[in-house]
Amino acid sequence: MINPDCVDALIFDMDGTLWDAVDSYCAIWNATFSSFGVNRTVSREQLVDCMGLTLDVIYSRVAGDAPVVPACDFIPVLVENEKKMMSELGGVAYDGVRGGIEQLSEKYVILLLSNCGEGGLENMARHIGISGFVTECVSFGGTHRQKDENMLYLKRKYNLAGPVYVGDTDSDCRSAHKAGLPFVFASYGFGNCSGADLTVASFDELTEFFLNKKV
């Protein structure tokens, strides 16, 4: 169990934790395949199953063992298309996220950490109106480090004594525990998890817990 009084920072995953932008990602992946002349459609179900993974791993799952376009050619175009298209397409914040982040920022350092491409977290924060409450955004696309390494980077940089990671997949849980951080499982997201230190069924429940309110 997590004691909120021993926590000084909340580090949030993005997809499946703060918002759902899968339909927009599908549009971007499909537009990128089309730009290479490849007749391939990526479905929502395919990408939901890949949430939380790095782009190279997602591409290998989507394109198969013998992709028509090499990953080294496809992924940079995908990243550029995401930068161009996501600011307009965006995603849908889960209920309670905007107000909850604002309240939580009065008590905790708020950090964002995801395996998304560079700039993805910043765009999401602008899109749902939480930029002003976020201290820093760190992504795999920006650092090329795994999640546990990025967690330790943030812990050292801000001299944190009790950071907690919030995500929605079992891989998030493993990364947090590898870095020595407690993990909060957002069960309303895309994945499953059996080893979380705390499970919440909504963002409002998370907010109430960390503000020491009765849940």
Contacts 24+ apart (CB under 8 A), 208-214: 209/4, 210/4, 210/7, 210/10, 210/104, 210/107, 210/108, 211/4, 211/103, 211/104, 211/107, 212/4, 212/5
pLDDT at 1: 82
Please give the CATH topology (third level) of the domain spanning 4-20+92-210.
Answer: Rossmann fold (3.40.50)
User: Residue 146: exposed, middle, or buried by beta-carbon count in 10 A (0-12, 13-18, 19+)?
Assistant: middle
Instruction: Give start-end residues of each CATH 1.10.150 domain in the chain.
Output: 22-89
Print burial letters for 179-203: b (CB count within 10 Å at least 16), e (below 16). bebbbbbbebbbbebeebbbebebb
Assigned architecture for domain 22-89? Orthogonal Bundle (1.10)
Q: What pLDDT was estimated at residue 213?
A: 65
CA angle 84, 57, 201 (to 5 degrees): 80
Name, in order, each residue with C-beta under 8 angstroms of 72's C-beta and a sequence gap of 6 or more.
Answer: none
Residue 205 · residue 192 · CB < 8 Å: no
**Residues 89 and 82 sit within 8 Å (Cβ to Cβ):** no
pLDDT at 67: 86
Q: Where in the chain is the domain with CATH 3.40.50.1000?
A: 4-20+92-210
Per-residue pLDDT of the chain (215 residues; tens, 9 = 90+): 899 999 999 999 999 999 999 999 999 999 999 999 998 899 999 999 998 888 999 999 999 877 899 999 999 999 999 989 998 999 999 999 999 999 999 999 999 999 998 899 999 999 999 999 999 999 998 999 999 999 999 999 999 999 999 999 999 999 999 999 999 999 999 999 999 999 999 999 999 999 986 44
Q: Pairing between strand 183-186 and 163-167?
A: parallel
pTM of the model: 0.92
Whose tokens are 């899109």? That residue is: 127
User: For residue 50, which of 37, 59, 41, 63 has the smallest C-alpha distance?
Assistant: 59
What is the C-alpha separation between 67 and 205, in angstroms, rounded? 43
| Amino acid letter, residue 207 | T
pLDDT given for residue 53 in this prediction: 86
